Amino acid sequence: MTVEFISVGTEILLGNIVNTNAAYLSEKCAGLGLSCYHQSVVGDNEKRLEDALHLALSRSDIVILGGGLGPTKDDLTKEVTAKVFGKELYEDARTRARIEDYFARVHNRNITANNWKQAMVPEGAVVVDNDNGTAPGLILEENDKTAILLPGPPNELKPMFESKIAPYLNGLQPEGIYSKMVKICSMGESRVETVITDLLETQTNPTLAPYAKTGEVHLRVTARAKSEEEADALMKPMMDELFHRFGDKIYTTEEDVTLEDAVVELLKGKKMTVTTAESCTAGLLAGRIMNVAGASEVYEEGYITYANRAKSKLLGVKEETLEAYGAVSEQTAREMAEGAAKAAGADAALAVTGIAGPGGGTKEKPVGLVYIGCYVKGHTEVKEFHFTGNRAKNRDYAVVRALTFLREELVKERS
């Protein structure tokens, strides 16, 4: 089956917001085994939206429209879709009651008249409750064509798709689509693809698809089957082979588990604590760790030491080290990691020092040069990295490499 996405909103065309919904829907629908050949963005214009929907329905089985379901006059998605499908709008009593309840829960009883516009739905449409907002989703089916209308805000669209739309789409196919995720760190995209080239060339059912992420590679194994049990049996040989080839470079097979989640769980399992000492990343690394629920069990304090004086004062980095080798050096990274562990009384420590850019680089020490020190129970290792992105990307890569480095050292922890 083919699916097509129409993102609605003049603000997307003008670049005022980034269209993250399309990327999200693309990945999720691919995981459901749906083929997507076209995507489009349309402003808040009735005629252009009507033309775009007619075109999409002429070449795709399912059209998913995101946005334009709000209470204002320029929110036209529902009205245009009803017109294209030849349906009248009526007020859905259940949706009206849910809107009233929503405003009561957020302690705002000043419901303006235009909010009731969101309770109007096309005849024959399946109303999809919105548990995070006031605009419901809608599903319209006619002549083997389906239109699915979703609210635009990602914090409404994503949970609605996960809990209600994905199961609906899965049910449209004669066989269900089931998948497992294999997340790999410590290896780049090209190397991972080289390792699995033969699997990619001979895949049938299940299939294998790689996705490059910042500092990681994710592999999705997908099977078509009549039941989850049958799918698991089909995917098991592939999963076993991936573990055989990548071993402990696989940090999880859970869709929602992040690299920092895995690192925190590893620390918990070993009953160890960690601290961080950051220069160029300025707290980003600590933030990634503390984003994990329960991270306070393994992380008590950290240090942002941008200036050399701070590195000496808080971490005990020797002045002669800074003078001889500079702040961005293997020697400084080592002393930062060891000093942080001592200051915090932690079992492990990560230290990051580098030149994120755009300025500050030299021929000897160019922008993107980063040293990461990792201390684990009395043993310290330092790695040198050369990143080639802009300031934000260099800092993001440094954080991921630091987390990966710590995980590697924890996995091979010395007794």
CATH number at residue 221: 3.30.70.2860
Please state, for a pLDDT cut of 70, what percent of the chain lies above it: 99
Instruction: Give the domain-ending residue among 207, 222, 252.
Output: 252
Q: Write out pLDDT tens, residues 269-287.
A: 999 999 999 999 999 999 9
Q: Which domain holds residue 8?
A: 2-171
Alpha helices in 107-251 (DSSP H): 154-160, 166-171, 189-195, 197-202, 228-246
Query: pLDDT confidence of 299, banded at 50, 70, 90?
Result: very high
What CATH number does the domain containing 51 carry? Answer: 3.40.980.10
> Which amino acid type is present at position 293?
A
pLDDT tens figures, 116-129? 999 999 999 999 99
Q: How far apart are CA 98 and CA 92, in angstroms?
A: 10
Same-domain status, 21 and 100: yes
Domain identity same for 21 and 158: yes
| CB-CB contact of 397 with 387 (8 Å) | yes
Q: d(Cα 301, Cα 148) in Å, to the nearest integer? A: 47
pTM over 0.75: yes
- Helices and strands (DSSP H and E) totals, the chain: 16, 17
In sequence order, what DSSP letters do the residues of 374-410 get, joined into one string? EEETTEEEEEEEE--S-HHHHHHHHHHHHHHHHHHHH
Residues in a beta bridge with 299: 274
Query: Does residue 188 share a domain with residue 80?
Result: no
Look at residue 113 in the predicted model and tell me its pLDDT: 87
Indicate if 219 and 311 belong to the same structural domain. no
**Whole-number Å distance between alpha carbons of 46 and 43:** 9
Tell whether 44 and 166 lie within a shared domain.
yes
Question: Are both 109 and 162 inside the same structural domain?
Answer: yes
Total tally of structural domains belonging to the chain: 3
Which residue among 252, 268, 300 closes a domain? 252
Query: Higher-confidence residue: 334 or 175?
Result: 334
What is the average per-residue pLDDT within 355-369?
95
The alpha-helical segments, DSSP class H, found in 32-177 are 46-59, 77-84, 93-105, 154-160, 166-171
Domain termination site, one of 187, 219, 252: 252
Note whether 157 and 191 are same-domain residues: no
Q: Is the pLDDT of residue 171 over 50?
A: yes
Whether a cis peptide bond, with omega within 30° of 0, leads into 206 is yes
Q: What pLDDT does residue 128 have?
A: 97
Q: What is the CATH number of the domain that holds 407?
A: 3.90.950.20
Q: Taking the CA of residue 112 as centre, how many other CA atoms within 13 Å lie in the half-sphere pointing to its CB?
A: 4
Are residues 246 and 291 located together in one domain of the fold?
no
Residue 315 and residue 217 in one domain: no
pLDDT tens digits, 209-227: 999 999 999 999 999 898 8
Residue type, 137: G
Residues 384, 276 within the same domain: yes
Q: What is the pLDDT of residue 414?
A: 53
If asked whether residues 266 and 240 sit together in one domain, one would say: no
Q: Are residues 158 and 189 in the same domain?
A: no
